[in-house]
Structure 1
Amino acid sequence: MSWWKEKRTYRYLFLVLLMSLIIYFLYLVRQLFLPFILAIVLVYLLNPLVGRMEKRGSQRVAAILILYLGVIIVVTSLLMYGVPRMVNQLETLVESIPVYTDQVEGIVRNVQQRFADSTMPPGVHQIVDERIRWAELRLLEVVRNVMDFLLALLANLFNFALAPVLAFYIMKDLEHLKKWGISQVPREWTEDVLYLAKEIDHVFASFIRGHLTVVFIVGVLTSLAFIFIGLEFATMLGIIAGLAELIPYFGPLIGAVPAVALALLQSKWLALKVIIAVFVIQQLEGTVISPKILGNSVGLHPLAIIIALLAGGHLFGIAGMLLAVPLAAIARILVSFTWAKLNSP
């Protein structure tokens, strides 16, 4: 019988068509991915604790609800302490913006005047003026992006509220979902699919649990350090520095820039203290915290991580930099697996 008349050929064609339709549907509803991504993060964070409680005799649903209650209590406590403090700091920042703007404009005018009075050739003057204007535009763009990000957070409140609901149902039926997924895989592929799923799961688990733990520790240490040295907006800047830890290598620099800039507007001595504090915390993070918590969690060479970060940032901005490392690690797993299969006897 010819290959195009075999039932297997039509089965494969049907699967290809089905997968194409699913991918196209996911592309159409890509704006709805956020609650599912947040739900997966919650599952990776909470499911190990649910498993431990189950081993001690708790029902799975009861264990999930108890954990949710604990999370609600902790988050509410943090919000009751943190939100008023953050609101006060934001109000102070809004009131201080005109003062800081005048200071920055004064610095820019100073720099421009010095270059105007210098004996540099006209061509160099023009290049310097263009670079100063470029820096001003980039600064305005950064401020605009920050405001857009804050507005986007407010616009996605429903997605944030939906994520715990999705996470609850995923954790509740996780074992059934796993069994159903395995049952859909052809028997001859089961071993390979289980291996790949295990490796990818390890990457996601290490990245989500490990990096969020590092984010929390660095954020707390940075906030306390900034409060100790008397920096304004210490809590807010500490949170920014902590979240920046999600971006390897470049994150600490990105997180330190706002703190150093604000400190410079107050005094050079305060800026020096901020730089020293950030340096000490980063040394602690690099030599003690991350090696203990993360280890070599993604199995990538530092050069590969840097290339992935640059590519992700160039293509998709901050979101691309956040997702670059785990996606690159998954790509490494798939390429290594495929290469091993192609070279196996």
Structure 2
Amino acid sequence: MTWWKEKRTYRYVFLALLGGLLVYFLYLVRKLCLPFILAVVLVYLLNPVVGRMEKRGASRVAAILILYLGVIIVVTGLFMYGVPRMVNQLEVFVENIPAYTDQVEGMVQHFQQRFDNSTVPPGVHQVVDERIRWAELKLVGVVRQAMDFLMALLGNLLNFALAPVLAFYIMKDLEMIKKWAVAQVPGEWKGDVLCLAKQVDLVFANFIRGHLTVVLLVGVLTSLAFLFIGLPFATMLGIIAGLAELIPYFGPLIGAIPALAIALLQSKWLALKVVITVTVIQQLEGNVISPRILGDSVGLHPLAIIVALLAGGHLFGIAGMLLAVPLAAIARILVSFAWAKLN
């Protein structure tokens, strides 16, 4: 019997069509995927703890509920302390925006006056003026993007609330889901697929658990350090610096810019203290925290990570930079597997 008449060929064609339809369906409902993505992140974070509690005699459902109760207590405590503080800092920041704007405008006008009085050639003068206007437009665009991001977070509150519910059912039936997925793989492919799945799972586990731990540590250290040096809005700026750690290499610079800008509006001495503080924390993070927690978590060369970050940022903005590293690591695993099979 020729290969196109074999029943196995029809099965593979059917699976390929089914996979294509599934990908197309996910593309159509991509805006609804956020709670599932958040649920997967929660599963990676909480499932190891659930497993340890199970080994000590607790049932899986009881372990999940106890862990959820503990998380709720911790999160509630953080909200009771952190949210009022953040709201207060935001209120003060909003009240000070006109004063900050006046300061920035005064600095720009002073610079332009000195520049106009200089003996710079007219052509260079025109180029500098254009660059100043370009920088102003870029700054306005960044502020608008930040406001759009905050509004998007508020608009996704339902998704954030739905994620723990989805995570509960995924963790509750995780072993059954794994067995079902393994059963769907054809026997001759099972070994290769399971090997690939384990490598991809390891990349996601290391990336999610490791990077979120680094984010938490850097955020807390930076907030405390900013409080110590007397920087306004220390908690808010520390959280921004911590979240920026999700972006390798470029994240520390992105997280330091808001703190340095606020410090410059206060005094040059405070700005210098911010630079020293950020430098010390980044040295601590780069030489102590990350090597101990992350290690070589994704198995990528630094140059490959930088290229992936630049490409992700160019194509999909901040979201692309956040997802660039794990996706690049998965691509490396798939290419290495395909190359090994072809040789």
TM-score range (shorter-chain normalised) is over 0.9
Counterpart for residue 269 of structure 2: 269
Counterpart for residue 104 of structure 2: 104
**C-alpha distance in structure 1 between counterparts of 2:270 and 2:58, whole Å:** 53
**C-alpha distance in structure 1 between counterparts of 2:291 and 2:164, whole Å:** 31
Alpha-carbon RMSD:
0.7
Correspondences of 1:1-12 after superposition (within 5 Å): 1-12=1-12
Compute the displacement of 1:206 (Å): 0.4
Counterpart for residue 54 of structure 1: 54
Q: What whole-Å deviation, never above 9, does each CA across 1:47-75 have from its counterpart, x for those lacking one?
A: 00000000000000000000000000000
Residue 336 of structure 2 aligns to which amino acid in structure 1? S
Counterpart for residue 138 of structure 1: 138
Counterpart for residue 81 of structure 2: 81
Compute the displacement of 1:2 (Å): 3.5
Counterpart for residue 120 of structure 1: 120
- Are 2:52 and 1:72 aligned? no
Compute the displacement of 1:141 (Å): 0.6
Counterpart for residue 166 of structure 1: 166
**Identity of aligned pairs, percent?**
82
Counterpart for residue 328 of structure 1: 328
- Residue ranges of structure 1 left out of the alignment (5+ in a row): none
**C-alpha distance in structure 2 between counterparts of 1:3 and 1:326, whole Å:** 38
Correspondences of 1:237-316 after superposition (within 5 Å): 237-316=237-316
Counterpart for residue 218 of structure 1: 218
SS at match of 2:19: helix
**C-alpha distance in structure 2 between counterparts of 1:8 and 1:51, whole Å:** 39
**C-alpha distance in structure 1 between counterparts of 2:7 and 2:289, whole Å:** 57
Counterpart for residue 91 of structure 1: 91
Residue 287 of structure 1 aligns to which amino acid in structure 2? N
Compute the displacement of 1:5 (Å): 2.8
Q: What whole-Å deviation, never above 9, does each CA across 1:72-117 have from its counterpart, x for those lacking one?
A: 0000000000000000000000000000001111111112112211
Residue 258 of structure 2 aligns to which amino acid in structure 1? P
**C-alpha distance in structure 2 between counterparts of 1:330 and 1:6, whole Å:** 33
**C-alpha distance in structure 2 between counterparts of 1:294 and 1:9, whole Å:** 43
What TM-score does the superposition give when structure 1 sets the normalisation length?
0.98
The size of the alignment, in residue pairs, is: 343
**C-alpha distance in structure 2 between counterparts of 1:13 and 1:295, whole Å:** 41
**C-alpha distance in structure 2 between counterparts of 1:279 and 1:9, whole Å:** 60
- Residue ranges of structure 2 left out of the alignment (5+ in a row): none
Q: What whole-Å deviation, never above 9, does each CA across 1:159-204 have from its counterpart, x for those lacking one?
A: 0000000000000000000000000000111111111011001100
SS at match of 1:278: helix
Compute the displacement of 1:24 (Å): 0.9
**C-alpha distance in structure 2 between counterparts of 1:295 and 1:138, whole Å:** 36
Residue 183 of structure 1 aligns to which amino acid in structure 2? A
Counterpart for residue 233 of structure 1: 233
Compute the displacement of 1:144 (Å): 0.5
